[in-house]
Amino acid sequence: MLSGGSDSAYAALMAKTMWPHADFYGLFIDYGQPEAPPERIASMAVFKRLMFNYNHWCEVKVSDLYVFHRQSVAENNVYVPLRNLVLTSIAAAKAEALEAEVLVVGNKSLQKTEGEFLTYDGNRKFYKQLESLVQSIEVTSHRILIVPTLSENRTQKLTRKDVYFGLWKNGFEYGETFSCWFARGFDECGECKNCVEKKLLWEQWRAFTT
Ligand SMILES: [Zn+2]
């Protein structure tokens, strides 16, 4: 699953490192999120950089799924109930159709309450539960593994700095991933929490490498 955000990009990079000879497919899901147009471009750019085969990038549209979410805990902290259950189910169906062995997801949380945001449906345990659910209903000998490569074999959650520095160290450009909450057309807003953090990390990275 390749949303085009920094986490999914780094998860794909990790997957490429873990299975260098595997055949990769990139899946973008347009579920009606307002940021879908710039995210789609980032998803394609990331896939092209890592996998070189445009034919293996695909998209599923479920554009009416998006519901305007209530805000919780902190300002801008969005929580769409079980969004990742729906999206991962779609990806598992696609994986089944492609006879894929592994479904890579980009979430880096280990537990459901970690850091400042709640990640009820975006943590390692959640995906492992989904994996056993998917495997329990398999009707063929084909088994799909669901692997959050960013939390694989980790006891501490990766930081955003780990993710961005990992991407930039591997040649990614600043604008190649898209993680903005309030996109203005195809551009990042530059002001939301994600944008501010990304800019700060970029300054640190530039100072570190020049
Ligand atoms: Zn922004």
**CATH (domain of 116):** 3.40.50.620
Range from 41-45, 76-80, 143-147 carrying the lowest mean pLDDT: 76-80
Question: Which stretch of 62-71, 105-114, 169-178 has the lowest confidence by average pLDDT?
Answer: 62-71
Report yes or no on 196 lying in a domain. no
Q: Where is pLDDT greater, at 120 or 205?
A: 205
Q: How far is the CA of 78 from the centre of ligand 1 (A)?
A: 14
Residue 190, domain member (yes or no) = no
Query: Cα dist. 191→121, 168, 186 in Å?
Result: 26, 21, 15
Ligand 1 centre distance from Cα of residue 167 (Å): 19
Residue by residue, DSSP assigns 84-95 as HHHHHHHHHHHH
For ligand 1, the distance from its centroid to the CA atom of residue 186, given in whole angstroms, is: 11
Provide the pLDDT for residue 165: 97
Place 115 in a pLDDT band, splitting at 50, 70 and 90: low
Please tell me the distance between residue 102's alpha carbon and the centre of ligand 1 in angstroms: 32
Distance CA 21, CA 174 (A): 27
75 assigned to some structural domain: yes
Across the range 149-155, mean pLDDT stands at 90
Distance 175 CA to ligand 1 centre (A): 12
Average pLDDT over residues 27-39: 91
Average pLDDT over residues 42-68: 86
Look at the chain and report how many structural domains it folds into.
Answer: 1
Question: How far does the centroid of ligand 1 lie from the alpha carbon of residue 178, in Å?
Answer: 9
Identify the domain containing residue 61 by its residue range: 6-155
pLDDT value of residue 182: 85
Domain assignment present for residue 182? The answer is no
| 189 domain residue, yes or no | no
pLDDT of amino acid 82: 72
* Residue 32: inside a domain: yes
Average pLDDT of the chain to the nearest whole number:
87
Please give the distance, rounded to the nearest whole angstrom, from the Cα atom of residue 184 to the centre of ligand 1. Answer: 8
Its pTM surpasses 0.85: yes
